[in-house]
Amino acid sequence: MRARRKLVIALNLASWCGLGFVMGYINYATGWSVAGVAVLVLFLIALPWTLLAFWNSVIGFVILCCARDPAAYTNDALRETPPGAPIERLTAICIAIRHEDVSRVASRLATMREDLRATGEAEHFEFHVLSDSNQPEICAAEAAVFGSQDGVFYRRRPANTGFKAGNLRDFACAALGRVDFMLVLDADSLMSAAAILRLVRVMQANPRLGILQTLVTGRPAASPFARIFQFGMRHGMRTHTTGIAWWQGSSGPYWGHNALIRLRPLVSYCELPVSPERQLLGGHLLSHDQVEATLMRAAGMEVRVIAEEFGSWEENPPRLPDFISRDLRWCQGNLQYLRLVGRPGLLPMGRFQLCNAIAMYLGAPASVLMLTAGVLHGLSGSRGHVPGSLAFGMYFGMLTLGFAPRLLGVLQVMMRPAERRRWGGAPRLLAGAMTDALFTLMIGPVMMVAQTRFIVGLLFGQRIIWEAQQREGQSLPFGEAARGLWPQLLLGFCFGAALWRVSPGSLPWALPTLAGSLLAVPFACVTAWPRLGRWMMRVGLCAVPGEKEHEQVVGTSARAESWHGKVKEA
């Protein structure tokens, strides 16, 4: 493991220095200036997270192509688990909710209960609905549906203290000594019985295992935005997660849901720190997951991920504004890790995990400042000329780095006939990949501006509170999109005008950034069109395996429909 980590460090450091040298030469060729130095520094600040994602995906791609069992090759715990071992421990399946659509949660819960009962192992599992809702009509619906179900335990806290993490910890402390494991689910989570039993068997066979995370995939969606996003994310996450599982090993990721946790070490070692609200980034942690994983590892327990798609699903936001809201909540939560990086007792890999989560959001403001510095560098005048081949290579090299996880995931599927058929055949797979590439080019500048604006707001006391996200697809009015995305439009206009003034010939190079910014409003509206989503479903564009298998989708079974009716009656 130490050799693997040294290899990853060497690959990232070499590529970081190489690209930095090329950018430095470009500055030298055009004439050094204060703005040019700023461009170089900001480029180097924004680069590490992109490089790490690239190398993770390259490593994962090689393993997926060469290993007979990639999941077991990257996770020693799977090799130590007897197949079909009897279930001997009690597991609490916990669904944390706050102001959610009760019928949708009830449908997913009913599906999982029925699936577990069919295995004959249901006696070893309890279902707990842990509510932090405080809106009277939603509370009444929750009590009517969940409070009346035999075998489902419903509990509602009067206060949302500590957000989701506080809700789960309250339950864990109360259940300690009676329950062995806790399966954490979000309101939009769904897991098959086979996947749940697999997690429990692995945890039973490995007493040093504290957290076991699944590779979560997006469920079939009708929203155009969600369909395209989860198509690309699914390909990218498969290669990326396989790569990180190979070199992170027992210090793996925890993403906060669809994961099994050993209760005793969670309660004993993973209490989250709370800082005063008046402090910058103070208060309760919004992103609890990676902190709990870091504390679990510091206590000597292992945190591992199973890098395989095997019956663990989530829903993705159906519209761009909903996606931005969720991402900014993660942004605030990840930046809160700045208070914890220097905490005594953490292992080096734990500190790295926290720093990596922070770096995920530092690239956005660095990129905006880099664009600004680049324009200023052009206004300062240049004394030289950059070879066209070098500029061309640097430009498309950076695009390749960003797209590599998705491209390698698609390539890995294309190399296997059985996998190609699961994804609808080569033509549909390639059509989905091209659609996702255009989608990613468009959404990149939008998220860059949204994250930068939010991070600046954090410095002046702006905060996000934990609320339920929009999960039901619906159209997006043009006016609503314009009110939320005017900063992107403004940046695109100012950046385009500045380039026209400084260097008209560079406008084609800046087209991805300009198009994503200037067309942000129509892009948001079009990707929310229900009619477009229905057409994509009909032709199979951006389809994922299992889309036609209705038994995997909550809301299609007679049992699920009956729950919708019960909620309406309540």
Total domain count for the chain? 2
> Other CB atoms closer than 10 Å to residue 420's CB: what's the count?
16
> Other CB atoms closer than 10 Å to residue 31's CB: what's the count?
13
| 487 part of a folded domain | yes
Supply the pLDDT for residue 560: 43
Residue span of the structural domain in which 237 resides:
71-347
Residue that is last in its domain, among 287, 318, 347: 347
We report the CATH number of the domain holding residue 138 as 3.90.550.10
If asked whether residues 55 and 106 sit together in one domain, one would say no
Tokens 């729950």 sit at which residue? 563
Residue 274 has pLDDT above 70, yes or no: yes
| 513 part of a folded domain | yes
| 564 part of a folded domain | no
If asked whether residues 42 and 132 sit together in one domain, one would say no
* pTM, full prediction: 0.91
Residue that is last in its domain, among 347, 374, 394: 347
If asked whether residues 301 and 402 sit together in one domain, one would say no
Supply the pLDDT for residue 276: 84
Q: What is the pLDDT of residues 318-364, one digit of tens each?
A: 999 999 999 999 999 999 999 999 999 999 999 999 999 999 999 89
Rounded average pLDDT over 457-470: 72
Contact 504, 192 (CB under 8 A): no
Q: Which two tokens stand for residue 260?
A: 């099994």
| 128 part of a folded domain | yes
Rounded average pLDDT over 123-140: 95
Higher local confidence (pLDDT), 39 or 155: 155
If asked whether residues 326 and 392 sit together in one domain, one would say no
Q: What is the pLDDT of residues 237-264, one digit of tens each?
A: 999 999 999 999 999 999 999 999 999 9
If asked whether residues 107 and 151 sit together in one domain, one would say yes
Going by C-beta distance under 8 Å and a sequence separation of 6 or more, which residues neighbour residue 124? 87, 88, 89, 90, 91, 200
Pairing between strand 259-262 and 209-214? antiparallel
Nearest residue to 491 (alpha-carbon basis) of 471, 478, 510, 475: 510
| 100 part of a folded domain | yes
Work out the percent of the chain whose per-residue pLDDT is above 70: 92
> Other CB atoms closer than 10 Å to residue 466's CB: what's the count?
19
Q: Identify the H or E element spanning 239.
A: helix 224-248
Q: What is the pLDDT of residues 216-228, one digit of tens each?
A: 998 888 899 999 9
Rounded average pLDDT over 189-213: 96
If asked whether residues 61 and 93 sit together in one domain, one would say no
Supply the pLDDT for residue 466: 59
Residue 330 vs residues 324, 466, 530, 539: alpha-carbon distances, Å = 10, 10, 27, 34
Higher local confidence (pLDDT), 176 or 498: 176
For residue 179, the SS3 value is: strand
Mean pLDDT of the chain: 89
Higher local confidence (pLDDT), 556 or 144: 144
Q: Which amino acid is residue 343, in one-letter code?
A: R
Rounded average pLDDT over 115-143: 95
Contact 97, 141 (CB under 8 A): no
Residue 471 has pLDDT above 70, yes or no: no
Contact 273, 288 (CB under 8 A): no
Beta strand segments in 99-216, E: 125-131, 152-156, 181-185, 190-191, 209-214
Residue that is last in its domain, among 328, 347, 366: 347
Work out the percent of the chain whose per-residue pLDDT is above 90: 73
If asked whether residues 386 and 286 sit together in one domain, one would say no
| 419 part of a folded domain | yes
If asked whether residues 276 and 373 sit together in one domain, one would say no
Supply the pLDDT for residue 463: 73
Beta bridge partners of 125: 91
If asked whether residues 77 and 178 sit together in one domain, one would say yes
If asked whether residues 59 and 87 sit together in one domain, one would say no
| 566 part of a folded domain | no
Q: What is the pLDDT of residues 420-453, one digit of tens each?
A: 999 999 999 999 999 999 999 999 999 999 999 9
Beta strand segments in 176-332, E: 181-185, 190-191, 209-214, 217-218, 259-262, 302-306, 312-314
If asked whether residues 442 and 341 sit together in one domain, one would say no
Supply the pLDDT for residue 27: 80
Confidence of residue 279 (pLDDT cuts 50, 70, 90): confident
- Sheet with strand 190-191: strands edge to edge: 190-191, 312-314, 217-218
If asked whether residues 394 and 522 sit together in one domain, one would say yes
Task: Name the phi and psi angles at 209, rounded to 5.
Answer: -85, 120
Rounded average pLDDT over 533-550: 83
Contact 200, 87 (CB under 8 A): yes
DSSP 8-state symbol, 123: G
| 561 part of a folded domain | no
Supply the pLDDT for residue 553: 41
Q: Which two tokens stand for residue 125?
A: 């599992």
Interatomic CA distance for residues 451 and 445, integer angstroms: 10
